[in-house]
Amino acid sequence: MTPSKIVCVGRNYAAHARELGNELPQQPLLFLKPPSALLRSGEPIVLPPDSHQVEYEGEIAIVIGRRARHLSEAEALACVAGYAPLNDVTARDLQQLDVQFTRAKGFDTFCPVGPFGEAPLGDWRELEVRCRVNGVERQRGNARQLVFGIPQLLVFISRVMTLEAGDVIATGTPEGVGPLQDGDEVEVELMGVGRVINPVRASAPAA
Ligand code: ZN
């Protein structure tokens, strides 16, 4: 199912906010990625010629199972269909150049998402994400480290926008972000759930 939107949360791990020199937000910092950026496992992330610093961000993603708005914390988890590994691919140089994140986060192929729904839901606090580049681990994050936990995010986001079945929420990336280059292979694994693995390639030169 194509989501109506992909809602992302910035600076939601303290160590990652520090590594980019940012303060921790007082409330969740939200931005959107367009559904046109979605990518399946196995398909290539294409490096756009407009950026010279494209980076991986391994994240725990929430997949929404039914329409929800103005959720209370007690009922928030009932709208979750599953959790999935997600790579919030980011043109870091453009993110720093632009005031907001639309261009840096919005290129085609910049949102690989893995499978969900095959594993039982379990306790969200047990979710753990790992990111590897060419087989070498670069990131490891646990949902317990989230500044704003999953129920809090669902409450906060659903006060702003109606969540629809199939929508995806990316909960933020742990420390260890770094660059991707032509020929790399990047893998985000949500432990016990699944993996999304993508080759990286430079865009074809303009004809
Ligand atoms: Zn991110």
67 CA to centre of ligand 1 in angstroms: 24
Q: Say which CATH topology domain 6-202 has.
A: Fumarylacetoacetate hydrolase; domain 2 (3.90.850)
Exposure of 136 by Cβ count < 10 A (0-12 exposed, 13-18 middle, 19+ buried)?
exposed
CB proximity list for 21: less than 8 A, separation 6 or greater:
none
Is residue 114's pLDDT more than 90?
Answer: yes
Average model confidence (pLDDT) across the chain:
95
At 12-60, the pLDDT tens digits run: 999 988 998 989 999 999 999 999 999 999 999 999 999 999 999 999 9
Q: pTM of the prediction?
A: 0.96
Q: Which amino acid is at 3?
A: P
33 CA to centre of ligand 1 in angstroms: 10
At 140-152, the pLDDT tens digits run: 999 999 999 999 9
pLDDT at 118: 67
Q: What is the end-to-end Cα distance of the chain in Å, rounded?
A: 34
pLDDT at 206: 62
Decide: 58 and 188 in contact? Cβ < 8 Å.
Answer: yes
39 CA to centre of ligand 1 in angstroms: 15
Of 202, 198, 174, nearest in space to 52 by CA: 202
Cα gap 30→169, rounded to integer Å? 10
9 CA to centre of ligand 1 in angstroms: 6
Q: Are strands 45-47 and 194-202 parallel, antiparallel or unpaired?
A: parallel
161 CA to centre of ligand 1 in angstroms: 19
164 CA to centre of ligand 1 in angstroms: 21
